[in-house]
Amino acid sequence: MSKKKKRKQKAQETPLSGLMRRYQKWPRRVAIFGALVGVVVAVIVFANPFGGAITALDSNGEEVSVGIIDGQPNASPRNGRPAPNFLLPDYDRLAVRLSDYEDKIVVINFWAGWCTECDREMPDIVRIAETFPDDLVVLAVNAGDSKGTAEKWALDRDLPLDLDNFVWVLDERQSVTRKYQLNGMPHTFLVERGGTIFSRVDGGTTYDALLQTIEFFLPPETSATAP
């Protein structure tokens, strides 16, 4: 277009027509953007890339939702307070409830595969379970890892997966971990018979430290140091 024609077109152009010409491509851009949003929503709804609800298999073979069981106290778990009851899957996807072990002392150990302190303390926690096979159970709650990652972590360290009173469970969405109001790893809760917390350890622990605390809540004849 010549300069003369451009000047003529500019002289004839009104403010409204200029505005319309400037934004004439916007409807198409808006339509493209809307289509992209629709595709993303469809992927989330139908493909569900973030995963559906995590469930476990109850004793009757039915799927049950995992996490904190309804009606639990909102207060931060600490000494003298009830331990919030929860349901999580073990490595075989079977449902494990804290309340299943009300007749035993329960060691709830929260750990993660990236945690170096968890690596150091886990053999001592296994040893505690082996010391008290009849009076104590350990619930080793993995926070955030998949089953494959968590199970490989244990196998790589030759940690037993078949102790009757040591149960590996998964908290992939960390709903239980958040309820217990935990930052960092590891954390260990000692729960007496009936469900009351009698010790909370933030950070790593040792066999001797656990033994000293646990023996206060065991009959003398079951003590590991009894004559």
Q: Would you put residue 174 in left (φ > 0), alpha (ψ -120 to 50) or beta?
A: left
pLDDT in tens, 136-171: 999 999 999 999 999 999 999 999 999 999 999 999
DSSP class of residue 84?
A: P
- Round to whole Å and give the CA distance between 208 and 63: 40
* pTM, 2 dp: 0.74
Structure tokens belonging to residue 39: 């595709």
Structure tokens belonging to residue 24: 């004439």
Are the C-beta atoms of 87 and 167 separated by less than 8 Å? no
- Round to whole Å and give the CA distance between 168 and 217: 24
**Is the pLDDT score of 55 beyond 90?**
no
Q: Roughly how many angstroms between the first and final C-alpha of the chain, as a whole number?
A: 106
Are the C-beta atoms of 140 and 111 separated by less than 8 Å? yes
- Round to whole Å and give the CA distance between 5 and 60: 84
pLDDT in tens, 72-88: 666 778 899 999 999 99
Please name the fold of domain 55-222: Glutaredoxin (3.40.30)
Which one has a higher pLDDT value, 4 or 48? 4
For the chain, helix (H) and strand (E) counts, in that order, are 7, 10
In the chain, CATH 3.40.30.10 sits at 55-222
**Is the pLDDT score of 28 beyond 80?**
no
pLDDT of the residue at 41: 39
> Which whole number is the average pLDDT over 204-218?
93
